[in-house]
Structure 1
Amino acid sequence: MSHSPIRKDKTCLNCRHVVEQNFCPNCGQENTDSRKTFHHLFIHFFEDLTHYENAFWKTIRNLLFKPATLTKEYLSGKRLSYLAPVRLYIFISFITFLMIALFPGESKPIVTSDKNHTKSQKEIPKNIFTGDLSDLKPGAEFDSFTKNVDSIQKFAPKEKKLDGFSYWIIKKVKYVKDHNTKKEIIEKFTESFVHNIPKVLFIIMPFFAFFLWVFHNKRKWYYFDHGIFTLHYFSFLLLMFLILFIIQKLIGLFGEDNPLTFISDIADFVGFIWMSYYFYPAHHRFYGETRWVSFLKSVALFFINSFFILFLLIIYAFYTFLNLH
């Protein structure tokens, strides 16, 4: 509830209706001073998202421990007792971004060495001029190839030279490997992935709802229904990630070798199991199908969405790698 003083003027600023109480009976706008302090705006932001404390905690409790309850309640018309699905997701996303900003990844000095030295053409692997990228073997030979990519473009026969895109990719890979150790690449990628999980989930949501629409009765269920289910399910996933992230970072404040790290490990294990299982009871309770039908559809949807998510993550991983410094 807002604690701002009520305006002396009884005319609603929104619809010009006469207001005798705190809220306009015509449009519902609160009759308070329109000029607010920053403190009020910050508090009002949380109040607007959470409505009242009871509704907020009731929503979070049901979201975490009662799969599909929020979706069924919302679609049945009981909407004032809980946070609206979109506001719920936005609120959790906001807190997630805030926590990530408060607990950034540790920045470590990058140890580099001068790996660039002049090589004669004899030192270039023999298959550089006699084949294409598919001829290369993984490991040391590929490393040697990346180190000599400039020589390839300069001395190799025209038909054996790389195209512009391949050359750019190889140069980028070489730059990343020259300026980062394997451990640093993994750490940077992990940090970037964590920071972008909310964005990745947001991109996936409409596709997730589409697959639900494909698997269910089109006359009984609208895409809107699947969308609300998806919003609640992804809000759960994001909230679980947020909880595990906070636990990990708080325990990490005591050092990497502190005796409390086992709590973080247990939380991660339990959280992963619950996130993996959650979709099945949520699907069964919401769509009301038999357990076996719901189980089979859940498994099918799990693999389809996992494949789709994996495809997006591969693209994302490639993009992230190319943007490492």
Structure 2
Amino acid sequence: MSKSKIRSDKTCLNCRFVVENKFCPNCGQENSDTRKTFQHLFIHFFEDLTHYENAFWRTIKNLLSKPAALTKEYLSGKRLSYLAPVRLYIFISFITFLLLALFPSDTNLFKNTSKKETTITTKNKSLQSNTQKKEQDAKDLNEQDNILNFGYTSVAQLDSIQKNAPASDKLSDLNYWVNRKIQIVVENNTQSEIIEKFINSFYNNLPKVLFIFMPLFAFFLWLFHSKKRWYYFDHGIFTLHYFSFLLLLFLLLFLINKGIDALIESALLSFVQIILNFVGIGWMLYYFYPAHHRFYGETRFISFIKSSLLFMINIIIIALLLSLYVIYTFINLH
């Protein structure tokens, strides 16, 4: 725990109460010097997030291995032993998306399909002729045209049709706007650039999507359970812990894959990577069922039916949100 110099003045700066010891007996504020170094602020920030001592690691251990245990402990009143749900989610979310930004995934899907192919391409790059390069460029352009071709070759052609063509051949205002947006993106980007920009935008905006989705997730939990026994607040705490688990496990798998990819490639490491990903993704998908059963205390059969329905409903909602997000992201590409 960071140490702060105690003020000689015994009057609390917050409530003006007389402070005999380190903390004010009236409001609880520490009677320390208000001027801090950057180092102190950084340490204090980290300590505040991790709730000092062993609370952070105890929270992480229970979150990963004991579905719904944190939620039950929190709602039973045992709150100082663990990180608060909101603080936990913010901390994991911050670390996850910071590392995703610092170590972005390789999104160049059309140049490198594997490490082996990349190595071979690099070794033989000096032997490629100009003709081969031109053929490859033409192939890449043709692939882009096949996937993103909506019947127009340029924005100018589309504008000309909309302006000069007979009324029967013109597009509706909405179709014209959508097609023009698509054509602008196609003209200014290659297919690999479009995918790279889309994935980067997806990672940057995923926290917003999750933030929008969490209240909906809690709302459906509220609909499926007794209104007399459970408040929306209870479902909200369950949701925060569940989403914190998903983000944390995703982060761990991301770090494991990055670490293995940085090592020398071998069959054993590849096998270990596959097993770890299989186990991690499997636990991520299964986790909701025992968490639901243990928290809501219903019979296994009823809990299975409810959790399955909730799982399917939320998958549909996620699909709809992602579809809207895909459209939004594509429209805003430059």
Same-fold status (TM-score > 0.5): yes
Aligned to 2:46: 46
* Partner SS for 1:272: helix
Aligned to 2:100: 100
Cα-to-partner distance string for 1:252-298 (whole Å, 9 max, x where unaligned): 4458x666455444333222111100000000000000001000101
Residues 140, 6 of structure 1: CA spacing in aligned structure 2 closer, same or farther, 3 A cutoff?
closer
Matches within 5 A, 1:54-93: 54-93=54-93
CA drift at 1:141: 10
Counterpart amino acid of 1:9?
D
CA drift at 1:105: 4.7
- C-alpha contact 1:198 1:238 (8 A) present in aligned 2: no
* Partner SS for 2:152: helix
- C-alpha contact 2:97 2:203 (8 A) present in aligned 1: no
Cα-to-partner distance string for 1:136-181 (whole Å, 9 max, x where unaligned): xx95895433544234224321242123332222122123233444
Between the aligned partners of 2:199 and 2:153, the Cα distance in structure 1 is 24
Confirm or deny that 1:237 pairs with 2:246. yes
Counterpart amino acid of 1:161?
K
Counterpart amino acid of 1:295?
F
Residues 4, 141 of structure 1: CA spacing in aligned structure 2 closer, same or farther, 3 A cutoff?
closer
**Counterpart among 195, 215, 228 of residue 219 in structure 1:** 228
Aligned to 2:297: 288
Aligned to 2:30: 30
Residues 22, 169 of structure 1: CA spacing in aligned structure 2 closer, same or farther, 3 A cutoff?
same
Aligned to 2:8: 8
- C-alpha contact 1:23 1:31 (8 A) present in aligned 2: yes
Between the aligned partners of 2:101 and 2:53, the Cα distance in structure 1 is 25
Confirm or deny that 1:298 pairs with 2:298. no
- C-alpha contact 2:24 2:31 (8 A) present in aligned 1: yes
- C-alpha contact 1:146 1:170 (8 A) present in aligned 2: no
Aligned to 1:311: 320
Residues 253, 64 of structure 1: CA spacing in aligned structure 2 closer, same or farther, 3 A cutoff?
same
Counterpart amino acid of 2:234?
D
Cα-to-partner distance string for 1:74-100 (whole Å, 9 max, x where unaligned): 000000000011111111112123212
Between the aligned partners of 1:315 and 1:271, the Cα distance in structure 2 is 28
Residues 104, 241 of structure 1: CA spacing in aligned structure 2 closer, same or farther, 3 A cutoff?
same
Between the aligned partners of 1:107 and 1:303, the Cα distance in structure 2 is 30
- C-alpha contact 2:185 2:333 (8 A) present in aligned 1: yes
Q: What TM-score results when the alignment is normalised by the length of structure 2? A: 0.81
How many matched pairs?
300
Aligned to 1:122: none
- C-alpha contact 2:11 2:17 (8 A) present in aligned 1: yes
- C-alpha contact 1:146 1:171 (8 A) present in aligned 2: no
Between the aligned partners of 1:141 and 1:51, the Cα distance in structure 2 is 51
- Percent pairwise identity: 66
Counterpart amino acid of 1:199?
K
**Counterpart among 174, 182, 189 of residue 173 in structure 1:** 182
Aligned to 2:278: 269
Matches within 5 A, 1:128-277: 142-145=149-152, 147=154, 148-254=157-263, 260-277=269-286
* Partner SS for 1:236: helix
After superposing the two structures, state which structure 1 stretch, 225-234 or 165-174, moved more. Answer: 165-174
Between the aligned partners of 1:140 and 1:275, the Cα distance in structure 2 is 33
After superposing the two structures, state which structure 1 stretch, 59-68 or 142-151, moved more. Answer: 142-151
Aligned-pair Cα RMSD in Å:
2.7
Between the aligned partners of 1:195 and 1:240, the Cα distance in structure 2 is 19
Between the aligned partners of 2:29 and 2:219, the Cα distance in structure 1 is 37
Cα-to-partner distance string for 1:210-268 (whole Å, 9 max, x where unaligned): 0000000010101011011011101111111221222233334458x666455444333
Counterpart amino acid of 2:323?
I
Residues 266, 176 of structure 1: CA spacing in aligned structure 2 closer, same or farther, 3 A cutoff?
farther
Aligned to 1:323: 332
Between the aligned partners of 1:267 and 1:30, the Cα distance in structure 2 is 46
Counterpart amino acid of 2:84?
A
* Partner SS for 1:78: coil
